[in-house]
């Protein structure tokens, strides 16, 4: 299993003046080989120039792998190789089933940005360095902000979404290299080095819920009628989060449609969700619809409960979209 590291230190980051943002020019590959002498922040700047250029999804491959590999620690390289073996094992087990059913693979990292975050954070077009902090001997955490341009159909205006993360840089063989990453605004906070629950070393041992699933559809701008056609499907929505809904927490979409987050059993809306109140979030899950069984109340003086769309709180993925 991949090593597990504490994420507590990310909350101790001291805010310092911005150290720069994405350079206009991409460094030459030969520069990456001569990494000796670069400061931690300089290494991060070069590394994320490549990330925003190639925008690798999942384990870096091809040109992205060639560019990023010299800047990654030996320990993290071993972890990525183990993760690749686990991915290979998954496709040996389910590859034929995926092709036959035209399903999207159900492994959590395949379309994630291992060095930027899940969902839209996986393909940032720009980055900026917010701060850096020494967290141990020859170990530095660098706080980053990513920008993603989200486009929609049907003349719906584009939005620029922002996400944050902390990358850890360590000194190895007299040069600084990338050793870990954690995306902020995602619950729970998980470092790249924590690994994935579906893997036990190089073997796939995923839970039943980790089997292949269809690709989520973007329902952010969907009307009431269109949402009805998406019931039972995986969807992604973006909007303003609130804990103060009539039937529980909800996400208010830009077109004023409301999608609730409804727990099946006991579910604690703790501090991470309190911090999301009134903020933009992205939520992914299976869309369901509640219809009041008694269409006409026995007493006409009382209105019946309204119908509503919802995602199951226990299985939905919810994360902040920072601006």
Residue 173 has pLDDT above 70, yes or no: yes
Burial of 312 (0-12, 13-18, 19+ CB in 10 A): middle
Quick one: pLDDT at residue 211? 61
Most confident stretch, 123-137, 240-254, 255-269, 288-302: 123-137
53 compared with 323, residue with greater pLDDT? 53
Band of the pLDDT at 171, cuts 50, 70, 90? very high
Spatial distance between the Cα atoms of 257 and 169, rounded to a whole number of angstroms:
43
Query: Which of 90-99, 120-129, 133-142, 213-222 comes out lowest in average pLDDT?
Result: 213-222
What are the domain boundaries of the chain?
Answer: 8-210, 217-320
Spatial distance between the Cα atoms of 40 and 47, rounded to a whole number of angstroms:
11
The mean pLDDT value for 163-188 works out to: 92
Query: What pLDDT digit, counting tens, does each position of 221-256 carry?
Result: 888 888 988 888 889 999 999 988 888 899 999 888
Residue 15 has pLDDT above 60, yes or no: no
pTM check: above 0.75:
no
Average pLDDT, the chain: 81
Spatial distance between the Cα atoms of 123 and 140, rounded to a whole number of angstroms:
24
Query: What pLDDT digit, counting tens, does each position of 98-122 carry?
Result: 887 767 787 878 878 999 998 778 8
Task: Give 319's Cβ-side CA count (13 Å radius).
Answer: 24
b/e per residue 171-186 (b: at least 16 CB within 10 A): eeeeebbbbbbbbbbb
Residue 208 has pLDDT above 70, yes or no: no
Band of the pLDDT at 123, cuts 50, 70, 90? confident
Percent of the chain with pLDDT over 90: 43
Find out whether 147 and 160 touch, Cβ atoms under 8 Å: yes
Name the pairing type of β-strands 308-312 and 258-262. Answer: parallel
Q: Write the CB contacts of 22 (distance below 8 Å, at least 6 apart in sequence).
A: 48, 49, 52, 126, 127, 128
Question: Domain 217-320 - what CATH class?
Answer: mainly beta
Find out whether 154 and 221 touch, Cβ atoms under 8 Å: yes
Residue 21 has pLDDT above 90, yes or no: no
Band of the pLDDT at 1, cuts 50, 70, 90? very low
Bridge partners (DSSP) of residue 21 are 128
Band of the pLDDT at 155, cuts 50, 70, 90? low
The mean pLDDT value for 77-98 works out to: 92
């Amino acid at each position: 299993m991949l090593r597990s590291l504490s994420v507590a230190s990310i909350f101790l980051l001291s805010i310092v003046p911005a150290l720069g943002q994405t350079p206009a020019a991409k460094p030459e590959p030969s520069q990456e080989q001569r990494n000796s002498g670069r400061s931690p922040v300089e290494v991060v700047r070069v590394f994320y120039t490549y990330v925003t250029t190639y925008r690798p999804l999942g384990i870096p491959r091809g040109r992205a792998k060639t560019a990023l590999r010299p800047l990654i620690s030996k320990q993290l390289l071993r972890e990525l190789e183990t993760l690749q073996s686990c991915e290979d094992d998954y496709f040996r087990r389910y590859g034929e089933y995926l092709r036959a059913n035209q399903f999207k693979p159900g492994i959590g990292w395949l379309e994630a940005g291992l060095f930027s975050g899940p969902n839209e954070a996986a393909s940032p077009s720009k980055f900026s360095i917010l701060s850096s902090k020494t967290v141990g001997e020859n170990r530095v955490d660098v706080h980053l902000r990513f920008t993603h341009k989200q486009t929609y159909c049907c003349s719906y205006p584009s939005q620029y979404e922002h996400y944050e993360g902390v990358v850890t840089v360590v000194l190895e063989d007299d040069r600084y290299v990338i050793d870990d990453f954690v995306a902020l605004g995602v619950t729970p906070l998980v470092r790249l080095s924590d690994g994935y629950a579906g893997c036990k070393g190089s073997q796939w041992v995923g839970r039943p819920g980790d089997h292949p699933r269809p690709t989520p559809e973007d329902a952010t701008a969907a009307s009431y009628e269109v949402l009805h056609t998406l019931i039972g499907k995986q969807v992604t929505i973006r909007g303003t989060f609130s804990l103060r809904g009539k039937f529980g927490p909800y996400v208010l979409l830009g077109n004023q449609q409301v999608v609730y987050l409804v727990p099946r059993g006991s579910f604690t809306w703790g501090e991470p969700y309190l911090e999301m109140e009134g903020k933009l979030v992205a939520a992914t899950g299976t869309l369901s619809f509640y219809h009041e069984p008694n269409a006409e109340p026995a007493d006409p003086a009382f209105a019946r409960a309204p119908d509503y769309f919802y995602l199951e709180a226990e299985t939905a993925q919810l994360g902040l979209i920072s601006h």
